[in-house]
Amino acid sequence: MPENQFIAVADEGELQPDEMKAFEIEGRRLLLVFTNEEYFVVDEMCTHEDYSLALGCIKNGQIKCSLHGSYFDLQTGQPNEEPADEPICSYAVKVADGKVMVNPAQRRN
């Protein structure tokens, strides 16, 4: 996939505040999050064990894994709460023509 290619993954306004949407691009499981008027795309799976963060919740700019309670910062991907000690990847997002678009080749962290 070219490095500057953004792919539409949702309509602007599709997600309510603190809502998420799981999707796949080329077999990679990703998660779109809308919080504090901003969109984020991160890896769907927790780095602690292979568990979907889509089953967790969004709080104060962080996503919580519901299996063991780790929080990950959506900007940096860093875990703020044990037991996870590896970051999740966060990807470049933009809104254009009413679509939320992600570039999975361009990491934010």
Which residues here bind ligand FES, judged by CB under 6 A?
Answer: 46, 48-49, 51, 65, 67-68, 70, 83-84
25 or 67: CB nearest ligand FES: 67
Among residues 45, 71, 48, the alpha carbon closest in space to that of 59 is found at 71
What SS3 class is residue 89? coil
> Which C-beta is closer to ligand FES: that of 62 or that of 103?
62
8 bridge partner residues: 101
- Using the minimum distance from each CB to ligand FES, give the nearer residue, 23 or 51: 51
In angstroms, rounded to a whole number, what is the distance separating the alpha carbons of residues 47 and 41?
Answer: 15
Question: Which C-beta is closer to ligand FES: that of 70 or that of 103?
Answer: 70
Q: How far is the CB of 45 from ligand FES (least distance, A)?
A: 9
Report whether 109 contacts 100 (CB < 8 A).
Answer: no
Token couple for 67: 């299996």
